[in-house]
Amino acid sequence: MNILINNVKIVDAKRAFHGSILIENGFIKRMFKADEDVNISNDTEIIEGKGLVLLPSFVDMHCHLRDPGYLYKEDLESGQKAALKGGYTTLCTMANTKPVCDNTLVLEYILDKSKKLDLCDIIQVSALTRNLEGKEFVNFEEMLRHTRLFSDDGNTIFNEEVMKKALILSNKLNFRVLTHCQPEFEIVKRDLGLLKEVGGNLHICHISLEKTLGLIKEFKDTNLKFTCEVTPHHIFGYEVDYRVNPSFRKKEDVKSLIEGIKQGYIDVIATDHAPHSLEDKQNGAPGISLIEVAFSMVYKVFHENGISLNKLSELMSYNPARILNLNCGLIEEGYEANLVLVDLDEEYQIDTDNFISKGKNNPFNGEKVLGKVKMTFKRGSVKYDNR
Ligand code: NCD
């Protein structure tokens, strides 16, 4: 099936123009400028894009779908449907499931179930150590058959020798270590120091403090291989009384993260979508459910701070796709037609009652956000349609 998305504003990390896009067999076949003649076959479906913006769909390097084990919080179907509603087509799902994803049995269960669902593309993150205990490594050889991402996520690796060894192996076996750092500044400082000492591939999850950004700046121009992310909620709100890891920070931290984005120090915006039940939240579980409103939260912040949509696309699609070696994240001929059609002018209130996600835990319920996802395409097929 061929699709023409007609008369639309096309924006990615590198371009912004009015025109049309022809999708053939799941790939971007041709792009037409507004003044060019569009010649297409009779069986092409035409989607009118007037007044809307077409972006590469979003790639989430960090989320929790809770399957297996915590299906009352989320499952692979609810989480991926929520993601598609939010404009995401690729998700890196964290290993803190039950059982923990530290072996191929669990990993293959997640990949097989997701393949059958045919919703998002799932890149499962393997635990770095068995049962996320920070002691004994998983079997890298086996896990590397399916993934190049390893993380103990919420469990900081406190043992320096374990972290050092992980970095050495990440270089040798060509994988990436995703780190959750608590206390943030101290652990990021330690890990960047270790990276300098032994090399390796590091991705620093959800930085949230001005002083951590200072470390990132200090190490950025070296040839060390590291990237870092911020979450939508850590640039959207400050001093919010709601439990999440890392915590909500001060206004100055938020301002500096936004400056850091403008100056090019932040590589990725990742959601850290962490759905929980009401009861679990009441019992102190940290985390926010936000994948279906993440784009609107980020766009509102970017719009208010004069940051371009190109930059948003760079952080939410292009950079994560490059880091993960995917053939998407740009609107260019030959790329997979993973796309999202948005209405930038639509303002709406977050309403957790309308969440597809089972997690209704979002402290911004009722707040206004900007920019709404209308359609999401994965390899040319419509996976979400809200026109
Ligand atoms: C994470 C979760 O719920 O899985 N929560 C969060 O606040 N980010 C775990 C964690 O990182 O602590």
Question: How far away, in angstroms, is 57 Cα from ligand 1 center?
Answer: 24
Cβ < 6 A, ligand 1 pocket? 64, 96, 153-154, 180, 244-245, 272, 274, 286-287
Atom 12 in ligand 1: residue holding the nearest Cα = 154
In this structure, the residue with its CA closest to atom 4 of ligand 1 is 274
Residue 274 Cα to ligand 1 midpoint, Å, equals: 6
Helix, strand, or coil here: 32? strand
Strands (E), the chain: 3-11, 16-24, 27-33, 45-48, 53-56, 58-63, 88-93, 121-124, 149-150, 176-179, 201-204, 225-230, 268-269, 339-349, 368-378, 381-385
Q: What is the pLDDT along the chain (387 residues), one digit of tens a residue?
A: 799 999 999 999 999 999 999 999 999 999 999 999 998 999 999 999 999 999 999 999 999 999 999 999 999 999 999 999 999 999 999 999 999 999 999 999 999 999 999 999 999 999 999 999 999 999 999 999 999 999 999 999 999 999 999 999 999 999 999 999 999 999 999 999 999 999 999 999 999 999 999 999 999 988 999 999 999 999 999 999 999 999 999 999 999 999 999 999 999 999 999 999 999 999 999 999 999 999 999 999 999 999 999 999 999 999 999 999 999 999 999 999 999 999 999 999 999 999 999 999 999 999 999 999 999 999 999 999 999
The whole-number pLDDT of residue 296 equals 99
Residues known to be catalytic: 272
CA dist 291 and 186 (Å) reads 29
Atom of ligand 1 nearest to the CA of 244: 7
User: Tokens representing 284?
Assistant: 């102190």
Mutate to test the pocket of ligand 1, among 98, 272, 280 (most ligand atoms within 8 A of CB): 272
Q: What angle do CA 49, 55, 56 make, to 5 degrees?
A: 130
Identify the pLDDT of residue 36.
93
Three-state DSSP at 142 gives helix
CA–centroid distance, residue 192 to ligand 1 (Å): 22
Residues 6 or more apart in contact with residue 263 via CB below 8 angstroms: none
The segment(s) of the chain belonging to CATH 2.30.40.10 are 3-55+336-362+369-385
Tell which atom from ligand 1 comes closest to the C-alpha of 94: 4
User: How many angstroms is it from 128 CA to the middle of ligand 1?
Assistant: 16
Rounded CA-CA distance 326/323 in Å is: 8
Cα separation, 83 vs 215, in Å, equals 32
- SS3 category, 96: coil
Please state which architecture CATH assigns to domain 3-55+336-362+369-385.
Roll (2.30)
For residue 286, which atom of ligand 1 is closest to its CA? 7
Atom of ligand 1 nearest to the CA of 287: 7
Instruction: Identify the residue whose C-alpha is closest to ligand 1 atom 2.
Output: 274
pLDDT at position 29: 97
What are the tokens at 338? 């993973």
Instruction: Name the residue with the closest Cα to ligand 1, atom 5.
Output: 287
- CA–CA dist 342, 11 (Å, integer): 11
Give, using CA atoms, the residue closest to atom 10 of ligand 1.
154
The answer to whether the beta carbons of residues 53 and 344 sit under 8 Å apart is yes
Concatenate the DSSP letters of all residues of 174-220 into one string: T-EEEE--SSHHHHHHHHHHHHHHH--EEEE-----HHHHHHHHHHH
Domain 56-323 has CATH 3.40.50.970: no
Q: Which of 63, 64, 100, 240 to mutate to test the pocket of ligand 1 (most atoms within 8 A of CB)?
A: 64
Residue range(s) occupied by CATH 3.20.20.140 in the chain:
56-323
Centre of ligand 1 from the C-alpha of residue 51, in Å: 38
Q: For ligand 1, atom 9, which residue shows the shortest CA distance?
A: 154
Residue nearest to atom 6 of ligand 1 (CA): 287
Ligand 1 centre to CA of 64 (Å) is 8
Residue 326: the pLDDT is 98
| The predicted structure's pLDDT at residue 221 | 84
Prediction pTM value: 0.98
Q: Which atom of ligand 1 is nearest to the CA of 64?
A: 4
Give the atom of ligand 1 at the shortest distance from the alpha carbon of 285: 3
Q: How far is the CA of 208 from the centre of ligand 1 (A)?
A: 14
Q: Which of 61, 184, 229, 245 to mutate to test the pocket of ligand 1 (most atoms within 8 A of CB)?
A: 245
Say what the pLDDT of residue 39 is. 86
CA atoms within 13 A on the CB side of 237: 20
Query: For residue 1, what pLDDT is reported?
Result: 78
Burial letters 122-156, b for 16+ CB under 10 A, else e: bbbbbbbbbebebeebbebeebeeebbbbbbbbbb
